[in-house]
Each structure stands twice: as structure tokens, then as C-alpha cells.
Amino acid sequence: MGALKLDINFINPFIEGVLTTLDTQCSVKAKTGKLFLRGNGTEITPAIAAMIGLTSPVFQGSIGLSFPESTFLKVMGGMLGEEYKEINKDLEDGAGELLNIIFGCAKRVLNDKNYNIDKAIPTIVRGSGLSVTYVGKTAAMILPFTSSVGDFQLEIMIVAH
Amino acid sequence: MFPPNTKVLIIDDMRTMRMIVKKTLVGAGFTNITEADDGATAWPLLEQALASGSPFDLILSDWNMPQLSGLELLRRVRTHVRLKNTPFLMITAETEKTQIMEAAKLGVSSYIPKPFTQQIVVEKLEAVYKKITAAKSAA
């Protein structure tokens, strides 16, 4: 296995998915920062992360969407129309649903370009200052976002078959 | 447009998504909303409502669900002699061409792609309602 060149055509649908989904479903305006390799930039301290596996005939990997607690509670408040003080089971499901929608947006665009990405189900990781470590030699690419409700980040890890 | 007292069934295995859809429908003026957490739970509700003489007027269903998917539920509804004309909309992130064609073949009334706004949902419902009204007038 080797690292797959992460070109902008692959990443853009995920960026568009994040921006569109947060705006449309959560009334949150976000902006992208500069992409960096894990270890070469400043990351947020996440309280919750939604992860989803990427499987296709040509590569495998994962994407993860991570939020600090205060940002996440506001994103969920926008999505569900209620004010939240703490992360509960419904909100954990909400994190999964959010990533599922983003994944669906990106998958549609990428599969139109013959990436043939399979369906996948998100998993949720919680904890104060959690750190996600990928097995393998390829480090995750981190795409930071700023938004009207705080910072968050998208993590992308792709390995070619 | 569908009247506010339209009897609506929302089906999704994710409670948060049911909350979002319900919030959207309530915001659009709907007052008679029931929820089911997958197709297998929804089917007896549809049959019971029919038997009680107060069938559901509108179904909004997720696509990917355990036990009985939205597509399978659509197939059952469209092959049921008394439920087959019930408006059935899919709310889904699965909007790839092959999947759209699959549901279209089974007679889905319309799609609401995720993410969605209240305006998108209202527009989709209005279009379905117009189609139904036109078909009834032509009959």
C-alpha cells in the first residue's frame, strides 16, 4: 500500500459537503483554513468526532469530523432547533447524521467521477481532548475550519491499494 | 399544498433526523405527524391506520434503515391494493443516478436530498400535491 496523492478534485467534494451541510442544515457559516499533515499544524482539542470509512476498488481510508464541545453544541442546536448544554446520546447520533450527509454529498460527486466509493456507516468517538490515531504509515491530512460558532476540523486519511 | 391536518408518517432509524424532519414539517404548518424508527415499524402502523379508516396521507421515509429499508417499504406500499396511491417521498443522502432510477421505477413520488431547508421540503411537497391534484382532475 502507498499514500494516494490527495488532489484537490478528491478533497473539494468533502469541503463543499461540509460547507453546504453546515449552512443548510445547521445555519452555520464556515470557512476553510489551510490543509496540513498531522503534526505540522495546530489542531483543535476535540470532545467528539464522527468517523466514516472510505472503501473503493482503488483506495481505502477514512474521514473524520471533530469538534470541541462548545462548537458542537451550537452546531447541533442549529440542526435540531434546540439549545443544548451537554453532549447526549441524541447529539452523538446527530454527529453521525451530520457526517453521513457530508459523506453522501461527496460520494455522489466522486462516484460520478468513477471513484466507486461504497456505502458506509459513521462511528462516533467521544472524550475530552480525544486523539484519533490511524493504524498504518500514512498520517492524516487535517483541514481546519473556522465558523460563526467556533473552530472544528476534518481529517482525511487515504491509502491506495 | 397539502392541508395542515394531513396525516404524515416520518420514518427514519435516526431519532435526530426524525426530529429535524418533524421540526421542518411543523414549521411548514403540519399538525398531524407520526414517527416510526424503520420500515418494519412503519408497515404495521400503515396497515393499522388503514384498518381504522384513517390512513396516512403522506409518507416521508429515509432510505437506509435496518430490517426494512425505505426502498423495500416503498415496494410494499406500491404493491398494496389500498395503499399504493399514498404519496411517498424519500429523504436521503443517496442521490446517485442508479439509486434514483431504482426508486423511480418503484414509483417514488419525489426526493428530498440531504441537506435540506424548510423551503426545499415545502417546494417538493407542493410539486407532489400538484401532481396528485392534476391526476385526480384528469381521472
Determine the residue among A108, A110, A114, A121 to mutate to test chain B binding: the one whose Cβ has the most chain B Cβ atoms within 10 Å. Answer: A108
Q: What is the distance between the alpha carbons of residues A65 and A18, in angstroms, rounded to a whole number? A: 9
Q: How many residues does chain B have?
A: 139
pLDDT tens by residue, chain A, 161 residues: 444 556 677 889 999 999 999 999 999 999 999 999 988 999 999 999 999 999 888 788 899 999 999 999 999 999 999 999 999 999 999 999 999 999 999 998 988 888 888 888 889 988 776 665 555 556 789 999 999 999 999 999 888 77
> Is A79 within 8 Å of B92 when comparing Cβ atoms?
no
pTM of the model: 0.89
What ipTM does the predicted assembly reach? 0.85
Q: Are B35 and B18 in contact (CB under 8 A)?
A: yes
Q: Tell me the nearest-neighbour CA distance from A136 into chain B, angstroms.
A: 30
B-chain residues within 8 Å CB-CB of A119? 64, 94
Q: Tell me the nearest-neighbour CA distance from A69 into chain B, angstroms.
A: 18
DSSP-derived 3-state class of residue A2: strand
**Residue A88 in grid coordinates:** 447526549
The answer to whether B96 contacts chain A (CB < 8 Å) is: yes
Q: Are A136 and A159 in contact (CB under 8 A)?
A: yes
Q: Are A76 and A21 in contact (CB under 8 A)?
A: no
- A52 beta partners: A63
The answer to whether B28 contacts chain A (CB < 8 Å) is: no
